[in-house]
Structure 1
Amino acid sequence: MQRRSFLRNFSLATIVLGAPAISSAAGTNAKQRTVSGKVHSNGKGIAGVAVTDGYTVVATDAQGNYSFEADARAEFVYISTPAGYAFNQQNHIAWFYQSLAADQLAAKADFSLEKLAVDDTRHQFVVWADTQMISQADCDQLKTTAVPDLKALVASYPKDSLFHGIGCGDLVWDKFQFFKDYKEAIAATGVTFFNVIGNHDMDLDARTDDYSSKTFKQQFGPTYYSYNRGQVHYVVLDDVFFVGTAKKYIGYITENQLQWLENDLKMVKPGTTVVLSVHIPTNTGAARRAKKEEEMGGTVTNRKQLYKILAPYKVHIMSGHTHFNEAWEEGNIMEHNHGTVCGAWWTGPICGDGTPMGYGVYEVNGSDIEWYYKATGKEKEHQLRVYEKGRLKEAPTEIVANVWNWDTKWKVEWWEDGVAKGTMEQRVARDPWAIELYAGPSLPSKHPFVEPTLADHLFFAKPSAGAKQIIVKATDRFGKQYSETINLA
Structure 2
Amino acid sequence: MKTDARGRYRLPIEDEAILFVIKPSGWALPIDGHNLVQRHYIHRPNGSPASQYPGIAPTGPLPESVDFALRPSVEPAKFRMVLFGDPQPRDQKEVDYIAHDVVEGLAGVDAAFGLSLGDIMYDDLSLYDSLNATIATIGLPWHNLRGNHDMNYEAVDNTYCCETFKRVFGPTYYAFNYGQVHFLVLDNVHYEGAAKHNFHGELGETQLAFARNDLALVPKDKLVVVAMHMPLTAVSDREALYRLLEDRPHAMSISAHTHVHQHMFLGADEGWRGAQPHHHFNHATVCGCWWQGAPDEMGIPHTTMTDGGPNGYSIMTFEGAKYTVDFHPARRLPSDQMSIFTPDGVTSANSGDTDVLVNIYAGSPRSTVEMKVDKQSGWAPMQSIVREDPYFLKLKEAEAGPKPPPGRPLDDATKTDHIWTAKLPAGLPKGTHMMQVRTTDMFGHTYTARRIIAVG
TM bin, normalised by shorter chain, reads: 0.7 to 0.9
Q: Compared with structure 1, are the counterparts of its residues 307 and 242 closer, same or farther at alpha carbon in structure 2 (3 Å cutoff)? A: same
| Structure 1 residue 245, shift from structure 2 partner | 2.2
C-alpha displacement of 1:444: 7.5
Residues 178-235 of structure 1 deviation map (CA, whole Å, 9 limit, x = unaligned):
1122111121111111101000001111100111111111111000000000111001
C-alpha distance in 2 between matches for 1:221 and 1:447 = 34
Moved more, 96-105 or 435-444: 435-444
Residue 308 (structure 1) aligns with = 243
Closer/same/farther in 2, CA of residues 312 and 444 from structure 1, 3 Å limit: farther
CA distance in 1, matches of 2:15, 2:245: 28
Match of 1:249 among 188, 192, 199: 199
Instruction: Give the SS at the match of 1:111.
Output: coil
User: Distance in 2 between the 1:136 and 1:212 partners?
Assistant: 23
Asked whether 1:448 is paired with 2:409, we answer: yes
Counterpart residue type for residue 115 of structure 1: P
Deviations 1:19-46 (A, max 9, x none): xxxxxxxxxxxxxxxxxxxxxxxxxxxx
Amino acid at match of 1:70: I
Contact 2:25/2:75 (<8 A) preserved:
no
Q: TM-score, normalization: structure 1?
A: 0.79
Q: Is the 8 A contact 1:168 1:279 kept in 2?
A: yes
| In 2, Cα distance between equivalents of 1:448 and 1:383 | 25
Which residue does 1:79 correspond to in 2? 21
Classify the secondary structure of the residue corresponding to 1:263.
Answer: helix
Cα offset for 1:487? 1.0
What CA distance in whole angstroms lies between the structure 1 residues aligned with 2:192 and 2:134? Answer: 31
Tell me the equivalent position of 1:462. Answer: 423
In the TM superposition, residue 397 of structure 1 has moved relative to its aligned partner by: 2.3
CA distance in 2: counterparts of 1:275 and 1:481, whole angstroms:
25
1:382 aligns with 2:336: yes
- Aligned residue number for residue 397 of structure 1: 354
Report what 2:283 is aligned to.
Answer: 338
For residue 329 of structure 2, what is the amino acid of its counterpart?
A
* 1:431 and 2:373 correspond: no
Deviations 1:155-198 (A, max 9, x none): xx4xxxx4211110111100111112211112111111110100
Q: Which amino acid aligns with 1:346?
A: W
Instruction: Give structure 2 stretches of 5+ with no counterpart.
Output: 46-59, 267-275, 293-301, 346-351
Q: How many angstroms does 1:255 deviate by?
A: 1.1
Structure 1 residues 364 and 190 mapped into 2: Cα distance closer, same or farther (>3 Å)?
same
Q: Are 2:260 and 1:318 aligned?
A: no
The equivalent position to 2:90 in structure 1, one of 134, 150, 162, is: 134
> What is the letter of the counterpart of residue 329 of structure 1?
F
DSSP-derived class of the 2:168 partner: helix
Measured against aligned partners, the alpha-carbon deviations of 1:296-319 in whole angstroms (never above 9, x if no partner) come to xxx112211111122233222110
Name the CA distance, whole Å, in 1 between partners of 2:165 and 2:190.
14
Question: Are the aligned partners of 1:441 and 1:449 in contact in 2 as well (CA < 8 Å)?
Answer: no
Q: Which amino acid aligns with 2:283?
A: H
Work out whether 1:478 is the aligned partner of 2:434.
no
Gap runs ≥5 in structure 1: 1-57, 284-298
The 3 A distance-change label for structure 1 pair 403 and 463 is same
1:480 to partner: Cα distance: 1.9
CA distance in 2, matches of 1:355, 1:138: 19
2:149 aligned counterpart, secondary structure = helix
Matched residue pairs, number? 406
User: Does the CA-based 8 Å contact 2:307-2:416 persist in structure 1?
Assistant: yes
Aligned partner (choices 167, 191, 210) of residue 218 of structure 1: 167
Amino acid of the residue matched to residue 341 of structure 2? Answer: Y
The one-letter amino acid paired with 2:451 is I
- Letter of the 2:240 counterpart: Q
Tell me, yes or no, if structure 1 residue 164 matches structure 2 residue 113: yes
AA in 1 matched with 2:325 = W
Q: d(CA) in 1 for partners of 2:445 and 2:290?
A: 31
CA contact (8 A) 2:29 2:69 kept: no
Q: Which residue of 1 aligns with 2:54?
A: none
Classify the secondary structure of the residue corresponding to 2:450. strand
The letter of the residue matching 1:319 is S
Whole-angstrom distance in 2 between the partners of 1:364 and 1:107: 40
Deviates more, 1:360-369 or 1:396-405: 396-405
Q: Distance in 2 between matches of 1:446 and 1:480?
A: 35
- Percentage of matched positions with identical amino acids: 29
Q: Normalising by structure 2, report the TM-score.
A: 0.84
Following superposition, the deviation at residue 280 of structure 1 comes to 0.5
* Contact persistence 2:78–2:318 (CA under 8 A): yes
Q: CA deviation at 1:396?
A: 8.6
**Greater Cα shift, 221-230 or 76-85:** 76-85
Instruction: Spell out, residue by residue over 1:382-408, the C-alpha distance to the aligned partner (whole angstroms, 9 max, x if none).
Output: 2212122349xxx99212111121122
Superimposed CA distance per residue, residues 311-358 of structure 1 (whole angstroms, 9 cap, x where no aligned partner): 233222110000000001242521110111111101224211111110
Check whether the contact 2:204–2:237 (CA below 8 A) recurs between aligned residues.
no
| Structure-2 separation of matches of 1:327 and 1:131 | 20
Q: 1:18-417, aligned counterparts within 5 Å? A: 58-74=1-17, 76-90=18-32, 91-102=34-45, 104=61, 107-116=64-73, 118-151=74-107, 154=109, 157=110, 162-246=111-195, 247-283=197-233, 299-313=234-248, 314-330=250-266, 331=276, 333-347=278-292, 348-390=302-344, 397-417=354-374
Partner of 2:386: helix, strand, or coil?
A: strand
Q: Distance in 1 between matches of 2:262 and 2:158?
A: 28
